[in-house]
Amino acid sequence: MDSQPKAGDALFVAGTDTGIGKTHAACTLIHALRAHGLEACGMKPVASGCLETPDGRRNEDGLALQAAGSRALAYASINPIALREPLSPHLAARLEGVAVDMAPLQAAFDRLRLSHQMVVVEGVGGWMVPLAPGLLASAIPQQWRLPVVLVVGLRLGCLNHALLSARAILADGCRLAGWIGNRIDPAMVAVEDNLETLRGMLPAPCLGVLPYGLAPADAAARLDVTPLLPSRIP
d(CA 161, CA 142): 20
Nearest in space to 44 (alpha carbons), one of 85, 86, 76? 76
* Residue 44 annotated as catalytic: yes
Could you please report the per-residue DSSP string of 95-128? HHT----HHHHHHHHHHHHHH-SEEEEE-SSSTT
Which residue in 24, 31, 34, 44 is the catalytic one?
44
d(CA 104, CA 88): 19
Backbone angles phi, psi at 94, to 5 degrees: -65, -40
Nearest in space to 130 (alpha carbons), one of 93, 166, 104? 93
Residues with catalytic function: 44
